[in-house]
Amino acid sequence: MSPTPPKARWPKVAPVRAAVGGNRLFSGLLLAGVLLRVVAMLGYPPTLWFNDSYDYVRIANAPFPHPLRSEGYGLALWLLRPFHSLYLVTGLQHAAVVVMAVFGYRALVRDFRLRRHWAALALAPVLLDGYQIELEHLLLSDTLFTVLVFGAVLLLARPGTTGWRRAALAGTLLGAAAVTRTVGLPLIAIALLYLLVRRTRWPVHAALAVTFALPLCGYAAWFHHDHGRFALTGTDGVFLWGRTSAFADCDTFRPPPDLASLCPYGAPGDRPASSHQVWEANSPTGWRDGHPFEPEVNARAQRFAVWAIRNQPLDYARVVTYDFFGRTFTWHRSPYPQPGTENKYRFPVRPDRMRPLPVIGGGDRLSVVADYEHGSGRTRVVSPFADIIRGYQLVVHVRGLMLGVMLLAGLAGMALRRARRGAGLLWLTGTALLAVPPLTADFDYRYLMPALPFVCLAAATAWARPRPDAPPAPEPDGSAGTAPAEREAEVQPAGA
């Protein structure tokens, strides 16, 4: 009896090590990315703090539906709380992005059949960007959110037939991402539209939609139990009010009497940034440290915002357009929304002082950190590592103009029908992540980084040449094509 010939191995899921090891360029980029993150951890132990960070730590100490912050990141910190280590949290965030880059490279090479050097260059910004590394070192939800969305989009964008199991996993990841940051909510519409264009069968759509809705509905029910409202946060109206506070003109357009107290102070051209107006000490929203916005305030703020947009639609469009184009795609960064906020995205010369301000849910910033860390949690600046990574960030980062060029490259590739299947989902996801914050709240440089990997991969899949050994593109979902048995026979090695 002749031995059974071995089956071809290339269609199988290869180990990640094999995918990475075949390209010296990507291996070098990967090593550089790891070393840079090690330098950041040595230079700024144990983590960097943002104003939102203390709310997430408070959630982690005793989970509750926070009225200001989406819950997902706080719950992730809660899972890590038994270790009482902020070093672990920061290290896992850095490691997650490195692993994300590895899987992104593998998807470009194995699934999209890109040449290895093009795939490596597409992931270089994710691995090497100084602002990306700094964002991972901040105790913020952005890294977890990016990794969840990236996993979901790669599952759906992969060429070939999308089964209901893959769609269910993608929906779960998107749902978890939306609970982590509400900017992820519109992504389900993009994913469903993509499946519709690919002519995917209805059980796949159902699996994606149901698994996306489950974590959201579960959290909304928990939020309703504590706050009497089915929602993910209690600030959707307040943030939209902040967006309209940039242009709302209560002198020209008289608001309803019960909304007049929410009119922003000063002339529209002299007001602070939209997001800053929400948190000012004398804000019409009545913000106070340690106290949530009252449900009635949030509801009134939403009504005011709708009133302002209805009366001044062109002003709303002007503000959003300027924030999207005039701030996102510039070569140099400006101190927006205020210098203190923009400085938080740079590795500091000296650590910020941690003040004992009250936090929602009880306690103050110092006490909630001590409860979680069993220590002070204060950032230390350690030379020469801090000096190295701080100087590196000043030089090596993706400029806004570069991001815009890559975004246009992806769009042009799709318009000229050069893009591979899946590029549209990557491009739309990156564009949505850039556009939703200016539409609903305000522009912030922090919001650029989650869009970076999707914009890079969309440009690569639109223009990079395929490998010479790349097989023909798979048939669209639900279309007639080669029978499964015939397709399997086509990949057998010679002599099978």
> Where are the chain's structural domains?
16-231+329-479, 235-320
Mean pLDDT, residues 425-448? 96
Quick one: tokens of 297? 């305030």
Quick one: tokens of 314? 């062109």
- What is the average pLDDT score of the chain? 90
pLDDT per residue over 97-119, tens digit each?
999 999 999 999 999 999 999 99
Residues contacting 252, CB < 8 A, separation 6+ = none
Please check the confidence at residue 163 and state whether its pLDDT lies above 70. Answer: yes
Q: What is the pTM of this model?
A: 0.90
Question: Got the DSSP string for 310-355?
Answer: HH-HHHHHHHHHIIIIIITT-SS----S-HHHHHTTS--SSPPPPP
The band of 10, judged by pLDDT with boundaries at 50, 70 and 90, is very low
Res 419: pLDDT: 66
φ/ψ of residue 402, rounded to 5: -65, -40
Give the chain's end-to-end CA distance (angstroms, integer).
15
Residue 369 three-state SS: helix
- Between CA 73 and CA 60 the distance in angstroms is 9
Mean pLDDT, residues 348-366? 94
Peptide bond before residue 295 is cis, with ω within 30 degrees of 0:
no
